[in-house]
Structures are given as structure tokens and as C-alpha cells.
Amino acid sequence: MSTTLFDKVWDSHVVRKIKGGPDVLFIDRHLIHEVTSPVAFLGLKSRNNSVLFSERTFATADHNTPTINQHLPVEDPLSANQLKALEENSAEWGISHWGLGHQNNGIVHVVGPENGITLPGATIVCGDSHTSTHGAFGAIAFGIGTSEVEMVLSSQCIMQPKPKKMRISITGELGTGVTPKDVALFIISKLTTSGATGYFVEYAGDVFKQMSMEGRMTVCNLSIEMGARGGMIAPDEKTFEYVKGRPLAPKGSDWDKAMAYWETLSTDEDAVFDKELTFSASEIEPMITYGTNPGMGTGILNSIPNASEVEGGEATYKKSLDYMGFAEGEAMIGKSVDYVFIGSCTNGRIEDFRAFASIVKGRKKADNITAWLVPGSHIVEAKIKEEGLLDIFHDSGFVLREPGCSACLAMNDDKVPAGKVAVSTSNRNFEGRQGPGSKTLLASPLVAAATAVTGVVTDPRTLL
Amino acid sequence: MAYDKFEILKSTAVPLPIENVDTDQIIPARFLKATERKGFGDNLFRDWRYNPDNTPKEQFVLNNSIYKGKILIGGKNFGSGSSREHAAWAVYDYGFRCVVSSFFADIFRGNCLNIGVLPVQVSAEFLDKIFKAIEADPTIEIEIDLPKQTITLLVTGEQESFEINSYKKDNMLNGFDDIDYLTKMKEEIKDFAVKQPF
């Protein structure tokens, strides 16, 4: 029978099927961080359970860490306590732990792939919804709650009903200045934030084939923002090339064994999806959001739609524009901006910083802009230095911070003040996401860079 | 037993007729710094509920004493965004045992079921009826009957049935959870793990 990539990976991980209930799904790789794991470890203890396979769980500190002076003690006592809990729990159970200052430390969805934890055909979970990132490798990867973190610690399994399958194909070639982030924001704007709820998405077609691994990670990362549990792309030579030689990737005969499995990982030609969508790359422009969910996005040259043009309730739509201080019909280009943030598990990889540098090179940061450049990991940070990007940033008046989730969710001090507008390469523009009262415009690293040097929302194509 | 059993819940309800309520609104990230599961109810809908100086926003429904009860009624696509189970904990800790909406985000729905909060998905029409009925009279009661899988507006007798898979239903009725189930499967899981390619 013809099957999809998703079926192949899912079905090969089902330990038991429960009649009228979920599947018991084996988890190959489990990533944990300081915010959603402490209660899971408490639960483990209170039930007298132990960690079943400590070598399958990997800990990194990222959500709640400062992005300056990481060599000093963390000032906020609550944050310090969470970091200590992660370190102690990891030590107690023999789990690999990359704490603050460790050379491999960084955002969980950045360090997983760059260290070879993320593998094609694997099942990967983490107490973080952007775990969908790892689907770029042809893995089934999705976010879970803390109860499920405890399940994985104690049994290496979780219980999940099998999602429906959706394929999103994009044909053709992307235009100049149109990035993977724009592709994702475009899809979400078409589907809305609940359009893929209940589905697992496979991305297919020319655009994704041509896309770099980093770009694929950006797209899969944002799958959750259309409600999908996750998104995946069939592994190809580019994938294998990326994985090969990474510190924790299989080696020698293990590599050969893994390759034999990985080469089977594609959707059969006549396999059937529950839903199929196709778009043309030529429809996609550099995108920007104007509202308080990632589905409220549009081409950067467009104006804010009228309530009657969008799906959903008018009251909710107007509440959202009120929060932003925007009105229907206003142009997005030229809107005044106060902050620019480049980073996060969505756009905190080396390619994103290269894109940012390509625009700011030879230009100066606008005076009205406070810019936060936060690499996704120490490895990304090292590459930024190695490739000379740091010099470009310094010459243009930008400072590079230390790795972490930072202003994406603003658990640390990187908070956009109330009433201020940020152009952000992160993943969510919810009310107060980047700090109470903050206003977020989601966009690509190119749009962020163009905005950082002009001080207002700017089409990067005018500066390329 | 992992949490309280859930059978029949009869209660007044709190209406929140807003769509796409994300988990950042249910509990903002800056309140996720605890290492224990307690006190999250105090910060439920923090930034909708309180001004920056911590005074209550009077127009918000949780600050209006007319509305109370163990059932929260939310607009379409409730619980989208972050996977933080803290959102479900906050809902539970505040005192809600059931959330009703015409559509739930997947992870939030799963998190609720894992901690003993029942997500009840109704049609858009029925949701609208509930909002209108509460608007007309905030003291009306709603009955959630898990064994029969029905939700009833007691004032009019209008009723709709809701879906829940039989495994989860059984868990809710008995107060079991997935961890109880999985810990009994350890040997089977160990045998399975040996056969994995990596």
C-alpha cells in the first residue's frame, strides 16, 4: 500500500495501538530545557519512577537565560533557581546537560540539529511547541506538555492519537528578497492560525527542494503557528550531507544502517493525504504581520485588510488592531519602529545572520532603533565571528549578544517596553509576547535588517 | 490516582467570547519561572485581568463577580500557541474543571486532558447559544455529563453531544492518567527500543 513519509516514520514508532484511543509512540530523542521540565522531574519522583533511557534525553538552558554577561551569576533568583533545577535534575539522572557557558549551549531547536541529535526518520519531542523545527530533517517532531515530558522521562513514550495528513506544495522559484520566513508567514496567512489544527504537514515541491537546511528549519518551525502539530520535509542529499559528521550523529556501520532506513523516507507517488494545498512561489512577497497572531500577515507592500476581508469574528479582529494601534487600510511600509530583534529558534541560525549582514553592510543602524542581535547558539556565534559578520555588525553600529531565546518570549530582561513596536524575526506576535504591552511585527531577517537601518518598516528589495 | 475523577459537572459558567485565545494570554511567559506546580491560578489571564500597577481591570470578566463557576467558555481556536502546560494548570488552579469552545488547539487540548480539565468542543451555533444565554442571565447553569458525553443548557434544555476517545474518557472517569498506563508497559517498551536503528 502506498504511504506517506509521515506514515512511515509514525508507524515504525508505534509500540502499541489502543482501541478507541491513542497510539503509544516511542520517542527516539527527547530535548528538555529549564522551564517546562522541573515539574516533570518532581512528578517522576513523587511516583517513585526513574528515567528509563537517560541517553535519549538532552538538556540545554535557553528560555530563561540572560543574553549579556553569561559568565556572571544569573541575577533573577527565580531564573537562577530554574537553571539550577535543570542542572541538578540532569546530574541526578545522568542526562547530558549543556548549561549556560557550555560550548554547545544555545536554543534547544538550534543545538539539536547542529550537534547531530536531530536525525531523519526519528521521533523527537520537547516541552516546547517549536519542536516542529526538527521536521526539516524528515523527523516527526512536535511540542509536548510537562505531563508528557514526565511520560518520556519515565517510559520513553507518549500517547498520541495519530494526526491527519496534509501536504502543502509550493511550485516555482522564490523571487529576490523572499526568504523561507516569508514562505511560512505566507502559508499561515492563507490557512489562519487554526487552519492545520489536527494535521501533520508535509512540505513538498520545488521551493522546499531548493531550500537550504536552515531555511527548511525555519519553515517547519512555524508549522505550529497554523495549528499543525508539526511539519516535515523528506530527507535528501542535502539533509544527509548536513547530518554527516555531526558529533552525535551515527558513525561507521551505524551510519550505513541509518542510511538504509533514511533512504526509504519519502512519500510514495500515489499516497493519499487528508488535505492537499498547492501555492505558486510567484504569489509570495516579503511578508510582515500587522496583528496579534501570526496569521495576521500580508505582503509588505500591502495595507492592513478590512475586517470584512478576513476570516473570523470582527470583534476579535478589531480588538487586535486596537492593541496594535493600527487601523484598517493603513500601509505597513513606513510604519515607525522602535526595536529590531533578530534571533530565536525561527531565525537565529548562521544563514539568518548572513542575510541580516547583507543589508546592514556599509550602512548604519538608525538612531531610533534599539537592536538585539541574539545568536541561536555558541556555535552560531562562533561562525558569525569566523565569517567576519561581527565586524560588519560593529561597523554598522550593532552589538552581538549571547545565545538564548531572549526577546522571542521575553522571560529574561530582553523585554520590549509597553507601547513600543518591534520588528522581530521570531515566531509569535501575541499581545505582550515580547514584554507586557509590546507590539510585534513578525518578519524575515532581511526585513528586520532593512528596518534596522532606516528606522521604519522597509521593503528589503529596495536595499539589495 | 493522578487527578480527581470527572463524571457530571453542573455549574454556572464564565464567558470569554474572544477567538484565538493563545496560551501567552492564559499565562504570560514571565510567570513560568516556578519549579513547582502551584499558584498559577493567580496569574491566569494576567495582562487582561490586571493593569501594569496590579489593580484589577474592572471590565475583564474574571473581575466581574456576576460571572463565576467551574466552566470557562472560550471563543474559537482556544489555547493556541505555546505548549506550556502552565496554561492548563492556571485554568485548573483558578477553579475551572471544564473549558468549552467551538475549536481547541491540539497541544492545549492534550494538556487539559492530561491534568483532568475536560475540553468540550461544541458547534459554533451551540457556542453562540451559550454566550447569548449567559449574557441574558449569568446565573444559568450548564451541565456537562461525561458518561453520556453531553453538554446541556439547563435553562432551555438545549443539548449537544461532544467527542472524546474512549481511552481518555475512561481515564477522566477514573482519575487515571497516561503515566499510570505507560509505567505498566516498561518491559514491552524496552524490547521495542532494542530494535530501533538509532
SS (H, E, C) chain B: CCCCCCCEEEECEEEECCCCCEHHHHCCHHHCCCCCCCCHHHHCCHHHHECCCCCECCCCHHHCCCCCCCEEEECCCECECCCCCHHHHHHHHHCCCEEEECCECHHHHHHHHHHCCEEEECCHHHHHHHHHHHHHCCCCCEEEECCCCEEEECCCCEEEECCCCHHHHHHHHHCCCHHHHHHCCHHHHHHHHHCCCC
Q: Among residues 412-451 of chain A, which lie with CB inside 8 Å of chain B?
A: 418, 428, 430-433, 436-437
pLDDT digit string (tens) for A92-130? Answer: 999 999 999 999 999 999 999 999 999 999 999 999 999
- pLDDT tens column, B159-173: 999 999 999 999 999
Tell me which residue in B20, B181, B192 faces A316 most closely, judged by beta carbons.
Answer: B20
Which residue among B22, B103, B185 sits closest to A293, beta carbon to beta carbon? B22
* Prediction ipTM score: 0.96
The answer to whether B163 and B32 have CB atoms below 8 angstroms apart is no
What's the grid cell of residue B179?
Answer: 503515566
Q: Which residues, including other chains, have CB under 8 Å from residue A160's CB and lie 6 or more apart?
A: A22, A23, A25, B110
Evaluate if residue B107 carries a pLDDT over 50.
yes
B156 pLDDT above the threshold of 70: yes
* Strand-pair partners of A280: A171
**Looking at residue A20, what is its pLDDT?**
87
Give the percent of chain A with pLDDT over 70: 100
Paired with A24 in beta bridges are: A16, A159
Which regions in chain A score pLDDT beneath 50?
A: none
Average pLDDT, chain A: 97
The answer to whether A121 and A21 have CB atoms below 8 angstroms apart is no
State the Cα–Cα distance between residues A60 and A394, nearest whole angstrom: 29
Closest CA to A368 of A419, A300, A421, A330: A421
Q: What is the pLDDT of residue A89?
A: 98
Residue A18 contacts B where some CB pair is shorter than 8 Å: yes
- Span A254-291, pLDDT tens digits: 999 999 999 999 999 999 999 999 999 999 999 999 99
Pick from B17, B19, B167: CB nearest A20: B167
- Which of A194, A244, A314, A429 would best serve as a mutation to test chain B binding (most B beta carbons within 10 A)? A194
User: In the sheet that B13-16 helps form, which strands lie side by side, from edge to edge?
Assistant: B13-16, B71-74, B98-101, B118-121
Answer whether B181 touches A (CB < 8 Å).
yes
CA distance B162 to chain A (A): 15
A428, B22: Cβ pair inside 8 Å? yes
Place of cell 521575553: A410
Give Dmax (Cα) for chain A.
Answer: 63
Which residues of chain A neighbour B17 with C-beta distances below 8 Å? 315
Contact A76 B190 (CB under 8 A): no
Bridge partners (DSSP) listed for residue B22: B80
% of chain B beyond a pLDDT of 70: 99
Give mean pLDDT, residues B16-23: 96
Region for residue A388 given its phi and psi (left: phi exceeds 0; alpha: psi -120 to 50; beta: otherwise): left
Pick among B107, B180, B190 to test the A interface (most A CBs inside 10 A): B107
CA A317 to chain centre: 25
The answer to whether A183 touches A207, Cβ cutoff 8 Å, is yes
| Count of Cβ atoms closer than 10 Å to residue B195 Cβ | 8
Is pLDDT at B12 greater than 70 in this prediction?
Answer: yes
Q: Does A397 touch chain B (CB under 8 A)?
A: no
Task: Spell out which residues of chain A touch residue B22, defining contact as CB-CB under 8 Å.
Answer: 293, 428, 430
With contact defined as beta carbons under 8 Å apart, do A107 and A62 qualify?
Answer: yes
Q: Do the bridges between strand A23-26 and strand A29-32 make them parallel or antiparallel, or are there none, so unpaired? A: unpaired
Per-residue model confidence (pLDDT) at position B2: 62
Please indicate whether, in this complex, the C-beta atoms of A433 and B85 are within 8 angstroms of each other.
no
**Closest chain B residue to the Cα of A28, Cα to Cα:** B198
- For residue B1, the model assigns a pLDDT of 43
Prediction pTM value: 0.97
Q: Write out the three cell numbers for A381.
A: 556565534
Which residues of chain B does A194 touch, with a Cβ-Cβ cutoff of 8 Å? 20, 76-77, 80, 103, 105
Per-residue pLDDT band for B4 (boundaries 50, 70, 90) equals confident
Q: Do A319 and B18 touch (CB under 8 A)?
A: yes
Least Cα distance to B81 among A295, A123, A52, A72 occurs for A295
pLDDT band, very low/low/confident/very high, at B43 (cuts 50, 70, 90): very high
Residues linked to residue B14 through DSSP beta bridges, in sequence order: B72
Task: Note the pLDDT of residue A313.
Answer: 84
Nearest-angstrom CA–CA distance, A158 and B110: 11
The Cα A245–Cα A236 span in angstroms is 16
Query: CB distance A155–B179 less than 8 Å?
Result: yes
Q: Could you tell me if B24 and A430 are in contact, meaning their C-beta atoms sit under 8 angstroms apart?
A: yes
CA-based max dimension of chain B: 61
